[in-house]
Amino acid sequence: PKEAQRIAREIWAHYRDHPHLSLAVATFSVRQKEAVEAEVMKQRRRHPELTAKMVANKNEPFMVRNLENLQGDERDVIMVSMGYGFDSEGRLSLSFGPLNRDGGERRLNVLMTRARHSCMIFSNFRASDMRLKPDTPAGVRHLQTFLQYAESKRMFLEDFEPSDDPLV
């Protein structure tokens, strides 16, 4: 819920400061999508003057989608809501919904390539908090690599499996 509240505030800051850029929020779960949508509705009631900016772009309207329903949609700015993280007892589970399934790395790739201008990640943990094991699913390993990049703006190429294709 706190992450959803923070994202709702950032949405309104976006429309206040950059109304010309299209925006979408991508969540890792349907439950988090619903939490973000509820907070956005609260903000719309508090800031009716910004609602017009939110609906002004008819070609690329604001949207909130969960990871599995984002394919094919692009926006200038994507805000990514993890919705997973440390629990109230300080434990971090490595369960990230669709990323833990076969093909999770492809879902993550779709998510992280939807932004034309910028991508903002909202999370209550860092890449270094993730304690991976040898059998950790590829999607979760790639999430850690992406978070490392987002935190440092450096790509760690050794984290990827080598390819036989010389063009990769």
In this prediction, residue 111 carries a pLDDT of 85
CA distance linking residue 47 with residue 43, whole number of Å: 6
In this prediction, residue 144 carries a pLDDT of 95
Sheet with 23-27, edge to edge strand ranges: 63-66, 23-27, 75-81, 115-122
In this prediction, residue 158 carries a pLDDT of 52
In this prediction, residue 78 carries a pLDDT of 95
CA distance linking residue 160 with residue 95, whole number of Å: 21
User: Global pTM?
Assistant: 0.85
Question: In this structure, are residues 18 and 72 in contact, taking their beta carbons and an 8 Å threshold?
Answer: no
The one-digit pLDDT tens for each residue of the chain (168 residues) are: 899 999 999 999 999 899 999 999 999 999 999 999 999 999 888 888 888 888 888 889 999 999 888 878 899 999 999 999 998 899 999 999 889 999 999 988 888 888 999 999 999 999 999 999 999 999 999 999 999 988 887 655 554 454 454 443
